[in-house]
Structure 1
């Protein structure tokens, strides 16, 4: 795993911890001042954000370790574990917020010091936009599933803070029921986000195949070599940033061993050059006759 990958992932971690900590302090002040259920929902989300991000940051430290004797394929799957942990935190916060929204719906309470809550919501939106920009840059260059999970959630936080802003303004206009309604909508959104993150993390842990377009590109590159008759038994998976590719090349049966090995190396390098991600390509050479290949293709 490259030093650039480690540096970018750590940059995303430090940016997340710093900006979310700042937002938590301002939201505590706004919630205590206003008593808004929607603001409490935003505060709850931020508290769980920093808990999940801290856990992810610690797990990423383990995931960034190079392969060793006990983990020959590296430690990349720890990122998927971080994603599952985030999903659990998000689901828990959504349930707690839903209960609070229900209670506030039965017993509406007027929001106090609404101007403070509005200013804090605007400040949170600006901080979240800055954080998402940093995470977008990191995900673009690393494909980290843990950072991607964080980024998806914080993109949702922009909508969450906009919803809080709308709830406070409407409540200030006399529509007190808007506060618990928006809090309930936020809880539904959090549940949806948690499900999506858990699903993607589970795909990585269960060694789901790479997307069809990537597999088609691998097959096309392999068969473009003039001495490759065909390709079969393509298997793919991803662990963290690393993608693992296994395939069988069908080569002329009378090729010397050194020549067959050279062709496999050329195909491997062509596949690695076509993808920006780190790849571990394992190729097995199968000897076949040209007549057999022609017959199989007819």
Structure 2
């Protein structure tokens, strides 16, 4: 069974807040895996920072601490977002993911500022880095663990379109570049005597962290402010509706995303002389085509007699 078929089968009527069981398992496992990896990396990097005193290592340790906090926040946010719709939340709880993303960004910006502060202090008072070999070994382990986690997260995001998992994955993808920077800093400072390299790379790491946070904020705001689908997806919806031989036109297309849920609604213009039963049949056929193209989306269609929109505009003027 394909992912699209799974969604359509396990979300009766595409009700918001109802998630295919395999999607739910994937998202829960992804959050637990992120927390587990963060805990392991925090312990390893903490020990090495204690011995090396490297600012670059401090940067990646701080990032791992924040990754752990953010991943823990994600774990609870994903559980909340997967809760089915209720009387107070008819559209489900998907926006809990966007709120978690904003919370993560606050942590991340704070960590970037702290790393810059420590790096500037070390630039003014350069110090050699000790135990560079141990630091490099730990960073290599961190890269292997992070690669495995990112690969799994990307699989989960491709299946579920989860903003919270995507936000978590952005951190860890950034960690790969940070870890490579740490290796460069440890080699240049510990073996070649370029003591300025350690704090310089620390600042570079802070910039990468801040850039990751900015992308998370943009994605979260798009969901919280009900940003429309891309123009490409909106054109696709309109093309699907207009391809039906009995559809005259459509208007008032509105789309939005909430966590892993999507909502599509529009007015379908039909021949004003057909029966309500025929109009309902045509709408059901168009709805089925749109749901095939956008699996898991809730589609709401209002039927209008053709030309009613133009008549309404004339009456208002």
TM-score by length of 1: 0.96
CA–CA distance in 2 between the matches of 1:13 and 1:106? 40
| Offset, 1:14 | 1.1
Counterpart residue number, 2:201: 182
Identify which of 72, 88, 92 aligns with 1:74.
Answer: 92
Instruction: Tell me if structure 2 keeps the 8 A contact 1:252–1:289.
Output: no
| Offset, 1:109 | 1.0
1:216-248 deviation per Cα after TM superposition (whole angstroms, max 9, x unaligned): 110000000001000111000001111100101
CA–CA distance in 1 between the matches of 2:243 and 2:260? 27
Counterpart residue number, 2:234: 215
Instruction: Tell me if structure 1 keeps the 8 A contact 2:74–2:97.
Output: yes
| Offset, 1:275 | 2.2
Counterpart residue number, 1:161: 179
Counterpart residue number, 1:259: 278
Instruction: Tell me if structure 1 keeps the 8 A contact 2:249–2:306.
Output: no
Counterpart residue number, 1:268: 287
- Give matches, 1:1-298, under 5 Å: 1-172=19-190, 173-276=192-295, 278-288=296-306
| Offset, 1:162 | 0.3
Which ranges of structure 1 fall in alignment gaps of 5 or more residues? 294-298
CA–CA distance in 2 between the matches of 1:177 and 1:288? 71
CA–CA distance in 1 between the matches of 2:122 and 2:129? 12
Secondary structure of 1:102's aligned partner: helix
Secondary structure of 1:229's aligned partner: strand
CA–CA distance in 2 between the matches of 1:260 and 1:18? 53
Instruction: Tell me if structure 2 keeps the 8 A contact 1:38–1:167.
Output: yes
| Offset, 1:289 | 6.3
| Offset, 1:253 | 0.4
1:71/1:289 CA distance change after superposition, 3 Å: closer
TM-score by length of 2: 0.90
CA–CA distance in 1 between the matches of 2:96 and 2:306? 41
The alignment's C-alpha RMSD in Å is 1.3
Which ranges of structure 2 fall in alignment gaps of 5 or more residues? 1-18, 312-317
| Offset, 1:108 | 0.9
CA–CA distance in 1 between the matches of 2:207 and 2:307? 60
1:149-182 deviation per Cα after TM superposition (whole angstroms, max 9, x unaligned): 1111110100000000000000021000000000
Aligned residues: 291
Secondary structure of 2:247's aligned partner: coil
Instruction: Tell me if structure 2 keeps the 8 A contact 1:79–1:145.
Output: yes
1:128-168 deviation per Cα after TM superposition (whole angstroms, max 9, x unaligned): 00110110110010000000011111101000000000000
